[in-house]
Structure 1
Amino acid sequence: MSKAQFAQRRDGRVAALQFLYAWSLNAPKNLTDDLRVFFENCEHPRDHYSFGEELIHGTIEHIEDIDGRIRTLAQNWEFDRIAKIDLAILRLAMFEMIYRKDIPPVVSINEAIDLSKQFSNADAKRFINGILDRLKDQIGRDARRADAG
């Protein structure tokens, strides 16, 4: 992957995180309209964020499964007490790890930790890493490899 592609994917993840965070606070009545308005206010044209938009749709589509896994993996943590930004980071990374076989799980974990450093507090990194590490051990695929589509 080129530096430009990597940077574009990073921008997409950041946009996805921001949208999912806002979505967790106030779910829109019309996702299509909300996404249009969201992307109109982003720095780049909407197609720059196509990867992020795929992540948004996928995460929301699989939210019940993902949240169920978070509840199971977040030992000694009440789901409702997880910071909303950390929950958005976890949801995004878990969607990638479970449903996006084209992305090595360790990449999703590293990106989640980077997002937590940028958007959350210092303690979040350990919490997020712990949950995603437990998930990595459960998903039954090589953590360092992408599976061919």
Structure 2
Amino acid sequence: MTNQTPQEVDFNATGYKTSYTAIRKARRFAVQGLYEWLLTDYRFAKERRDLLGGNEPHTIVARTRAENAMHTVHLGYYHELMRNIPDQADELIMALSGYLDRNFDKLDTIEKAILLIGAYELKHSLHIPYKVVLDEAIQLNTHFGATDAHKFINAILDRYAKAVRELEYTANKADKKAKKESE
């Protein structure tokens, strides 16, 4: 994987759909694309190098765009997720591994994809509040994942958020405590 700096998208300057719905749809397509990539090229790179190739993230993106009506999807954000998450997958997995009770490879593939999106957003999309990142991960799991997996995903991403967004996390907890005391 390369060590390139993620290319952040200025949602206001891209000309792409910028509604929350368009961004949510970008995440949904990214979960599907990452799921496919994790099952094929990423796994083959780890286990069967002779099968590697042919299903790289850019190929998945091109096929997805050709086969789906994506006029309501924030394409810039979708491309950012599908470009940067695979490039940084090993780094993100290492970061998440400290919060897991088992090896990342033992997780369900949908959980892996959702956790990678959440970890990426927590680390690189500072314009998105961490609570929104957690909520979006839970929504993705509700749409694609196992019934109770949202609890696991929320717990892992909440602990990761505490580490990578310490100031925001602490301020949120202090605000919550202050509101509770004033009631």
Scaled by the length of structure 2, what TM-score is found?
Answer: 0.70
| Residues in 2 aligned to 1:71 and 1:83: alpha-carbon distance in whole angstroms | 14
| Residues in 1 aligned to 2:125 and 2:148: alpha-carbon distance in whole angstroms | 27
Q: Does 1:39 pair with 2:65?
A: yes
In the TM superposition, what is the alpha-carbon distance from 1:33 to its structure 2 partner?
3.1
| Residues in 2 aligned to 1:51 and 1:80: alpha-carbon distance in whole angstroms | 26
Match of 2:151, as an amino acid? R
Retained in 1: the 8 A contact 2:114–2:141?
yes
In the TM superposition, what is the alpha-carbon distance from 1:66 to its structure 2 partner?
0.6
| Residues in 2 aligned to 1:46 and 1:60: alpha-carbon distance in whole angstroms | 24
Query: Which of residues 11, 19, 29 is equivalent to 1:15?
Result: 29
Q: Which has more radius of gyration?
A: 2
In the TM superposition, what is the alpha-carbon distance from 1:46 to its structure 2 partner?
9.0
Retained in 2: the 8 A contact 1:15–1:49?
no
Q: Does 1:118 pair with 2:143?
A: yes
Question: Which is further off, 7-16 or 133-142?
Answer: 133-142
Retained in 1: the 8 A contact 2:92–2:119?
yes
The percentage of counterpart residues that share the same residue type is 25
Structure 1: 5+ residue stretches without partners: none
* RMSD across aligned positions (CA): 2.4
Match of 1:51, as an amino acid? Y
| Residues in 1 aligned to 2:142 and 2:71: alpha-carbon distance in whole angstroms | 26
Q: Does 1:99 pair with 2:124?
A: yes
Deviations 1:54-77 (A, max 9, x none): 1111211211111002211112x2
Structure 2: 5+ residue stretches without partners: 1-10, 12-17, 42-52, 173-183
In the TM superposition, what is the alpha-carbon distance from 1:129 to its structure 2 partner?
0.5
Retained in 2: the 8 A contact 1:86–1:128?
yes
Q: Segments of 4+ in structure 1 off by > 6 A?
A: none
Aligned residues: 143
